Amino acid sequence: MVGFLADVVRAEEIVGRGEAGAGEGELWTALGDLGFGAGQGQALHRATRVHDHFIVDFDSPYRDARLVESNFRPSFGEGVPFSPEQRARVEARIVAAADGLRALSPAAYGLSAAMIRTLMPRIDDRNPTFKGSSNRGMVGRVNLFNPQLDGINHAVIASSLVHEAIHILLYLFEQDAPLVVDERRAHELRITSPWSGKRVHLLALVHATFVWYGLLHLWRLAGVERYFPRREIDYYRGFCARGLRDGRLSAALAEHAALVRPDVLDALREMEATAPTDEVEVEVEVEVDDPRRSAGPR
């Protein structure tokens, strides 16, 4: 950590003065948007910025950093470079996703822009499905696994941006006050998710409820079909509503409700009670196997 901080401070100094000192090695800014070669004051690597905000990091050494393993993606393959064609395709999808979100919902776009600083596309050929992810240790960074796949379009990327932005907002809330009263116990418990049918820990289920409730309302906004394909709209509407139907969330939480902070539990119950669930339901098998999935089996 000390070495990282020293390197990024030197990189920012180079940005400020426009040249590198003699003998300095390769340096990168903390966000991975600028990289300097040894002894070079001019950036050799300059990341794409979408809407002059979202940094798309294909090149920095951070993209190969060890990732936190999770219950929804238990292993990660080695980083595989993108071909120029794949890179251009991914950048175009991210731009189209951001354009669509900004036009459809200034609120959802604003949340994404406020919460996300860096998008880090990664090819993971050991798990050949798309997945967005974020974590508490690197707040503001979003990983996009396999965004180059043929089945992925800008709607999938847009859903992932908002999905991870909600997670990041919750991470920030957790820095002030945990969402559960016993974090160790909440992580040890395994509960069947009413969305995917998979076993997840309690805190993941709490997060998922906020995420799916928010996305359900995003995909039900008036005029959404002007910006995103009908196939993805119907898919997300059906899946996001799945865990909020017929008291399924309450049933999943029943034995462990006392571990959830009371005001958070009230919010979960209100979301379940007020969620519009008139969409055609998406079966679990479709969500698990469909490469469009942008949120993981929670």
Distance of CA 184 to the CA centre of its chain: 24
**pTM across the whole model:** 0.88
Arithmetic mean of pLDDT, 44-59: 89
pLDDT of residue 78: 63
- Rounded CA-CA distance 100/159 in Å is 11
**Strand 131-133 to strand 141-145: parallel, antiparallel, or no bridges (unpaired)?**
antiparallel
Cβ 106 vs Cβ 164: under 8 Å: no
272 Cβ contact partners less than 8 Å away, ≥ 6 residues apart: 209, 244, 247, 249, 250
pLDDT, tens digit (0-9, with 9 covering 90-100), for 214-270: 999 999 999 999 999 999 999 999 999 999 999 999 999 999 999 999 999 999 999
pLDDT, tens digit (0-9, with 9 covering 90-100), for 131-164: 999 988 889 999 999 999 999 999 999 999 999 9
Cβ 243 vs Cβ 194: under 8 Å: yes
Residue 252, token pair as written in the block: 């999943």
Residue 244, token pair as written in the block: 């909020």
Cβ 259 vs Cβ 202: under 8 Å: yes
Give the pLDDT band of residue 297 (cuts 50, 70, 90): very low
- Rounded CA-CA distance 70/200 in Å is 10
Does pLDDT of 283 surpass 90? no
146 residue type, one letter? N
Checking phi first, is residue 295 left (phi over 0); if not, alpha (psi -120 to 50) or beta? Answer: alpha
286 residue type, one letter? V
CA atoms within 13 A on the CB side of 191: 27
